Chains A and B, each alone.
Chain A
């Protein structure tokens, strides 16, 4: 039985057709995957179903009635609920207030709190309605979103990249909740780029490419590689990892500790590690466990005691970023727009901002614009950054292209030590493969590399050793080869106080 039927949905924005004649059906009680690269039109499509975008053409049928929600309110009233990719929560408000905001004519807050307790108990998603959302972990924040949806008794639940911030154990429990919902007759539209998860969870998949439906498949019987190639439209190149012995120790952290830099930050506690030349150390962990703080203390944005960070045998913990760059330590932080690059400045200016020290792009305080432009052009050519030219602003680049530029800019400075946070977050598969290959090549050339990522598949693919960051503490690094997902999950701290749904208990 069909719950939602999409027929010929088309939506064009100036310069790009986001959805082009998209048609497919979602059955009642089905877990349906929506696959596609960044920019394939997945977001526009789900926003259309949720009433945030009005299509230019095409119709939707919900249970054999025309369904054209003018706004999210109408979609919710019809039984469509959505968990957003970037959580749509209000940090300063408490859990019950956040949930009340997502309801039609909410009852008094005390009643909302009671219903939250009831539903969270029923589905095994423990949550205290009185806590302030800003203090919750990423997994807990997602529970707020899910419970907000469940309180509406939805017929269709849309989930946009729900697992990107969860540990493997938390993912397991989320999946059990979703299967339970599906067994109760709720349909789920599941968006993700983690193909193994889709193979484990979903019964049908629809693949979008450049706004068009290019095919469908049964994920349980299709390999991840085949699905990836359907998404990309061409054969994928898997990064190659050369075998080479490691050199001397290039970077040592000795009992690195630092207080939380701001209210919602994480303190670093007693982190010790060493990385050798030619080695890639992968650091996994759920966001908000000290990744940003670790990168800041390595790059020099956050100063720590002298001896806590050592390059070779030289203590550099007290040195600012440019002094560390001069000694050969470069870093690429996570947030592309606003941290790794200044969004409204040109690529030339952005190249100059970190490249000045090592590439000598200025002389006695005067900028050598020709050299800066050459450097930017070099990065653009070497790393295949798709842009009209080096005078474009960073903001005008797509996420993947800006990421290639940011990482390329650091690699082209020939660092001895490179620290990268989330190298391929929100980057499409082809660009991600190129970035990983560049990291491998840099290490093969004799640099020590630290890659911090939440994508465990990525870390397993490129790292030599793996360590996990949990509440500001780092586990002992272990050789990456041969680690199982269960062992990694335990290193990441396991599931935070989660239990399995007990609906049928």
Chain B
């Protein structure tokens, strides 16, 4: 085993890249759950976003348009979930699980002609001045733009939830939908918007895999990233900054174990592969003190 082959600067730099798809999907789901809706279809929305983004990017040659297409694709699939659960009052858990299965199948269908094609390249930014700082520059300031979009999104969501009237209403709807309704807030409208936002974020997360991380289309390429995003939301106690920590922790252990595998560590590969999941959950469980939104996954009907 040769641990000296692991470059700590590269390791830390790739941590941010590895964490981004989960971060994007998880921050969307956080908003959805704070509005009182449990959407277990994150995995399905992610992979739909991955294929939509890939198809659009290949068709137009523009990765930016690809991400736009991914967000729309994820949001449309989420809208389906929204209509089923908010208007037709279907069970959120069952509908979410079905959404995942549906998304996996739908994406395989859409992506049939795209296997083996390479995505248009999405160059890294080299942020002037900041990017030239030794050590910190290559770790933090020489990534592709979506890494920063993810970070800005986390900050924006924190600000929205805690500092704006709209965020207060969203939290109120998630905390007690009957009371919010009695005060005259549009519970279903708020939830539908949150659900679509969550779908768009999951779509972006998926497209990050197919356009940047891999960058190719293969069936089932999200490989459980949506589920870990769901888990991170819960263990982060529905708080944006903890969610960032959880996603980076997961990303960090993922790239570390890949590096260890490459360095030939004398531990069976299976143990290394499961280590990111175990490490993330253990750390977040230890520090978790969050309280679930009061109306989470309860069906709202105005007459009750």
Chain A contact residues, CB within 8 Å of chain B: 51-52, 71-73, 76, 84, 87-93, 97, 100-102, 106, 263
Q: Name B154-208 residues within 8 Å CB distance of A.
A: 165, 168-169, 171-172, 175-176, 178-180, 182-185
- A52 close to B294 (CB less than 8 A): no
Asked if A71 meets B176 with Cβ closer than 8 Å, knowing A92-B293, A100-B165, A101-B169, the reply is no
| Size band of the interface chain B makes with A | 10 to 19
B residues engaging A (CB < 8 A)? Answer: 165, 168-169, 171-172, 175-176, 178-180, 182-185, 291, 293-294
A/B interface sample: 29 pairs, CB < 8 A: A52-B182, A71-B184, A72-B182, A72-B183, A72-B184, A73-B184, A87-B179, A88-B176, A88-B179, A88-B183, A89-B179, A90-B171, A90-B179, A90-B294, A91-B176, A91-B294, A92-B171, A92-B175, A92-B291, A92-B293, A93-B172, A97-B168, A97-B172, A101-B169, A101-B172, A101-B183, A101-B185, A102-B183, A106-B165
What is the minimal beta-carbon distance from A63 to any residue of chain B, in angstroms? 22
Closest Cβ of chain A to B171, distance in Å, is 7
Q: Which of B165, B178, B185, B294 has most A Cβ within 10 Å?
A: B165
7 tightest A-B contacts by CB?
A: A72-B184, A88-B179, A90-B175, A88-B182, A73-B184, A92-B175, A90-B176
Give the residues in chain B near A263, CB-CB below 8 Å: 291
Please determine whether B171 and A93 come into contact, CB atoms closer than 8 angstroms. yes
Write out the residue numbers on chain B whose beta carbons fall within 8 Å of the beta carbon of A52: 182
Query: How far is it, in angstroms, between the C-alpha of A72 and the C-alpha of B172 when the chains are bound?
Result: 16
Complex CA gap A263/B289 in Å reads 12
Q: Give, as a whole number of angstroms, the nearest-CB distance from A57 to chain B.
A: 20
Task: Name the CB-closest residue of A to B291.
Answer: A92
Query: What is the bound-complex CA distance between A14 and B291, given in angstroms?
Result: 39
With A and B bound together, what is the CA distance between A101 and B293 in angstroms?
17
Find chain A residues with CB under 8 A from B179 CB.
Answer: 84, 87-90
Given A51-B184, A52-B182, is A91 in contact with B168 using a C-beta cutoff of 8 Å? no
Give Cα A90–Cα B187 distance, bound, in whole angstroms.
14
In the complex, what residues of A have CB within 8 A of residue B180's CB? 90, 101
Q: Give CA–CA (A382, B266) in the complex, Å.
A: 76
Contacting pair B168 A92 (CB below 8 A)? no
Residues of A within 8 A of B178 (CB): 88
Q: For residue B242, give the distance in angstroms from its CB to the closest CB of chain A.
A: 16
Residues of B within 8 A of A92 (CB): 171, 175, 291, 293-294
The answer for the CA separation of A152 and B293 in the assembled complex, in Å, is 28
Contact of B172 among A87, A90, A106 (CB under 8 A): A90
- Among A52, A76, A88, A90, max chain B CB count under 10 A is at A90
Smallest CB–CB gap between B295 and chain A, Å? 10
- Rounded to whole angstroms, the CA-CA distance of A52 and B172 in the bound complex is 18
Residues of chain A within 8 A of B294, CB atoms compared: 90-92
Q: Which residues of A contact B184 (CB under 8 A)?
A: 51, 71-73, 76
Q: Would A89 and B165 count as touching, CB distance under 8 A?
A: no
A101-B291 contact, Cβ under 8 Å, with A88-B176, A88-B179, A90-B176: no
Residues on A with beta carbons closer than 8 Å to the beta carbon of B172: 90, 93, 97, 101
- Chain B, residue nearest A100 (CB): B168
Complexed CA–CA distance, A106 and B185 (Å): 14
Instruction: State the Cβ distance, A181 to closest chain B Cβ, in Å.
Output: 21
CA gap between A71 and B182 in the complex, in Å = 10
How far apart are the CA atoms of A465 and B116 in the complex, in Å?
84
User: Please, how many angstroms separate the alpha-carbon atoms of A449 and B176 in the complex?
Assistant: 37
Nearest residue (CB) in A for B179 is A88
List the B side residues contacting A88 at CB < 8 Å.
176, 178-179, 182-183
Q: A100-B165, A100-B168 are in contact. Are A91 and B175 (CB under 8 A)?
A: yes
Q: How far is the CA of A72 from the CA of B183 in the complex (A)?
A: 6
Contact partners of B176 in chain A: CB under 8 A: 88-91
Q: In the bound complex, what is the Cα–Cα distance between A263 and B292 (angstroms)?
A: 13
* B173: nearest chain-A partner, CB-CB: A90
CA gap between A168 and B294 in the complex, in Å:
32
Chain B residues contacting A76 (CB-CB under 8 Å) are 184
Q: How far is the CB of B191 from chain A (nearest CB, A)?
A: 16
Q: Kindly list chain A residues whose C-beta atoms are within 8 Å of the C-beta of B175.
A: 90-93
Cα A263 to Cα B171 with chains together (Å): 20
Smallest CB-CB separation from A75: which chain B residue?
Answer: B184
A47 to chain B, nearest CB (A): 9
The answer on a CB contact under 8 Å between A84 and B293 is no
Tell me the complex Cα distance, A92–B165, Å. 16
> Nearest-CB distance from B237 to chain A (Å)?
12
Option from A84, A91, A97, A100 in Cβ contact (under 8 Å) with B182: A84
A52 to B187, CA, bound (A): 14
Instruction: Report the nearest A residue to B184, measured CB to CB.
Output: A72
User: What is the CB-to-nearest-CB distance from B89 to chain A, in angstroms, rounded to a whole number?
Assistant: 15
Complex CA–CA separation, A145 to B218 (angstroms): 56
Q: Which residues of A contact B183 (CB under 8 A)?
A: 72, 88, 101-102
B182, closest chain A residue (CB): A88
A88, B178: Cα distance in complex, Å:
7
Q: In the assembly, what is the distance between CA of A88 and CA of B165, in Å?
A: 18
Question: Taking the nearest CB of chain B, how far is it from the CB of A451, in angstroms?
Answer: 30
Distance to closest chain A CB from B190 (angstroms): 12
Q: How far is the CA of A100 from the CA of B178 in the complex (A)?
A: 17
Instruction: Report how far A89 CA is from B182 CA in the complex, Å.
Output: 10
A52 to B293, CA, bound (A): 25
In Å, the complex CA distance between A243 and B171 comes to 57
- A470–B179 alpha-carbon span in the complex (Å): 28
Most-contacted residue by chain B among A52, A76, A106 (CB, 10 A): A52
**Which residues in B have their C-beta under 8 angstroms from that of A106?**
165
Closest A residue, CB atoms, query B303: A13
> From residue B76, how far is it (CB to closest CB) to chain A in Å?
30
Q: Could you say which residues of chain B place their CB within 8 Å of the CB of A84? A: 179, 182
Asked if residues A101 and B168 are in contact (CB atoms below 8 Å), the reply is yes
Least CB distance from A13 to B in Å reads 9
> Min CB distance, A198 to chain B, in Å?
24
- The residues of A that contact B291 with a CB separation of less than 8 Å are 92, 263
Distance, CA A467 to CA B115, complexed state (A): 77
Chain A residue with Cβ nearest B238: A92
The complex places the Cα of A76 from the Cα of B183 at a distance, in Å, of 10
Q: Which residues of chain B come closer than 8 Å to A100, judged between CB atoms? A: 165, 168
Since A93-B172, A101-B168, A101-B183 are in contact, a sample of 15 more A-B pairs with Cβ atoms closer than 8 Å, ordered by chain A residue number, is: A51-B184, A72-B183, A84-B182, A87-B179, A88-B176, A90-B171, A90-B172, A91-B175, A92-B291, A93-B175, A97-B168, A97-B172, A100-B165, A101-B169, A101-B180
Q: Which residue of B lies closest to A13 (CB)?
A: B303
User: Within the assembled complex, what's the spacing in Å between the Cα atoms of A88 and B172?
Assistant: 11
A203 to B172, CA, bound (A): 37
Closest beta carbon of chain A to B204's beta carbon, Å: 29
Cα–Cα, bound, A97→B171 (Å): 10
Nearest Cβ in chain A — how far from B300, in angstroms? Answer: 14
